[in-house]
Structure 1
């Protein structure tokens, strides 16, 4: 038996329970790992609250991201072995001291990258990768707006986009977070609490607007995000930390300049093993070369997941947060 955080009913952070669970042995194509660190992400709160239904219903163990050491592998697993340091973004179940997971979701952590860094960067870092390198291919001619610039994905994306030569504009909700974003690649940062970000973007771009807007905030930034785009620009809605978007008429995209819109998720971009290895490899490369620096700004004991969720939802965290079993 090991200990894990279990959710028996959806709701606020208090529904996270610290319990004993039976992990079991890996079957064919699976591996059992001992976690050394677990990533905390906003999507964890969506499953906990019931905004996103858990795929296998209740009860469930939250968490999609972690790092650890392989203990045992099941039949047919050849790309990893016991003792390997591995990291993953995978099915729910990360908030546990140990777990069994499909082995094809595991990637070996390169030397020089610590477990805490790997655990906290897989979901956010691979999200930044697909946003900047696949959903819209960012380059020197790109002007982009990234909401929640001081969040975990934002700090990675700011560094990466600056390295790619883009003009990088961000929004944040305090001077502290604005300063943090500017230290991580953002040339322009707008305080969305005190300024009209759409008007400020127009000033920065000389009225031309952005090629792409990356929006993980949702309700509070709509329809302002559309106002920031140049004709035929792309609105990438990849989260909803402030609440779900309202229903809207697609004709609005025509009115705003024949805009494109997409609602991508990381899991579609890493569904195949080849796509996972490519996306993770690109992330490992920029981190290993120091192009992107991952700062683990908060650590909590896994047993204190309630407090971690409360702080995350209260916007008290910045950058990367990990849970330690």
Structure 2
């Protein structure tokens, strides 16, 4: 098979020939149809993201995609060859312990147990066939009319979906999305609508991107262009929210200032909830008395539960979530370097997808 092999983060990336992997206990081999690229894939490959930890040997990167089960190993009872599946990068150890290890397949590991797991499962999805833990794939049912590229864009939704589930977003509530103009933030706005939010306030710095979100979201979406001034932004968000929000979802990427996050927190009604799922590097200066008096709940969240893809596809099958809102820009697998550059430049309503099969490609 053809596979992209990365020497190390910042090392050489080469298209190589490898044998098709054989299934081992607890695994499946998936014939990959399509893989979606992270917007920061090029920076990751170039070694410009120092917090990421890769295997200590050449490996196949890539953590998401769509494919057909080719073979199953021992101790796999439900998945069958020929099934179409969605691949998740998020793997959680299955031992019955209080804090099971977890890592992102084909991407990164954080912590001693996670690094051991990564050594056991070092390869990801940017190959014609992928050897994967059975727990990272979910059968796709009732969506036979969707092509692989369209299904692969679900990667954009699954990450913020975990945060909205953790925040217990309920139908009719008002949701604030802080960092709404980023790739995952835009998807969070669309998900909030699909989950029944009565109003979604999209907060970001890019005015043109906010206009596009408002156009796509319709009458239940209001936008606030952040100024960086906490008091001004708080007042504008609260006004757009009709007096205050029930849930704020913060997915600001690589921020060096906490001002936007603090404005989202202070836009909450009493006993409101804030879910943190971004990658801010600055401290969050929270007042003990302010937090206590308002009864606010602040929750950190990493990724999503194992059943999240099944629940996400329930929203798609019911018509509540339309995957077509985020457009797949497709390229053949052999053009991965070009795809990584395109992913860097893509807008929040675009997702670069590498096609592993002979499907027609194009923008």
Which consecutive residues of structure 2, in runs of 5 or more, have no partner in the other structure?
90-104, 107-123, 357-363
1:162 corresponds to which of 174, 193, 209? 193
**TM-score, normalised to structure 1's length?**
0.81
Match of 1:144, SS state, is strand
Match of 1:304, SS state, is helix
| CA distance in structure 1 between the aligned counterparts of 2:333 and 2:233, rounded to whole angstroms | 37
Q: Deviation per CA, 1:15-53, whole angstroms, max 9, x where unpaired?
A: 543333334211122111111110212464575334343
1:109 matched to which residue of 2?
140
| CA distance in structure 2 between the aligned counterparts of 1:75 and 1:286, rounded to whole angstroms | 33
Q: 1:199 Cα shift?
A: 4.5
1:237 matched to which residue of 2?
276
1:58–1:181 Cα change, 3 Å: farther
Match of 2:153, SS state, is helix
| CA distance in structure 1 between the aligned counterparts of 2:19 and 2:151, rounded to whole angstroms | 26
- CA contact 1:171–1:197 (8 Å) conserved in 2: no
User: RMSD between aligned alpha carbons?
Assistant: 3.0
| CA distance in structure 2 between the aligned counterparts of 1:155 and 1:318, rounded to whole angstroms | 7
Match of 2:141, SS state, is coil
2:73 matched to which residue of 1?
74
| CA distance in structure 1 between the aligned counterparts of 2:133 and 2:335, rounded to whole angstroms | 27
| CA distance in structure 2 between the aligned counterparts of 1:24 and 1:175, rounded to whole angstroms | 47
2:224 matched to which residue of 1?
190
1:273 matched to which residue of 2?
none
Q: Does 1:177 align with 2:209?
A: yes
Match of 2:217, SS state, is coil
| CA distance in structure 2 between the aligned counterparts of 1:10 and 1:206, rounded to whole angstroms | 47
| CA distance in structure 1 between the aligned counterparts of 2:337 and 2:234, rounded to whole angstroms | 36
**TM-score, normalised to structure 2's length?**
0.73
Q: 1:66 Cα shift?
A: 0.8
Q: 1:209 Cα shift?
A: 5.4
Pick which of 297-306 and 195-204 moved more.
Answer: 195-204
Q: 1:94 Cα shift?
A: 1.3
Question: Equivalences for 1:242-253 in 2 at 5 Å?
Answer: 244-248=280-284, 252-253=286-287
The runs of 4+ residues in structure 1 deviating greater than 6 Å are 193-196
| CA distance in structure 2 between the aligned counterparts of 1:263 and 1:80, rounded to whole angstroms | 33
Q: 1:189 Cα shift?
A: 1.9
Which consecutive residues of structure 1, in runs of 5 or more, have no partner in the other structure?
271-275
1:30 corresponds to which of 27, 31, 35? 27
2:93 matched to which residue of 1?
none
Pick which of 86-95 and 146-155 moved more.
Answer: 146-155
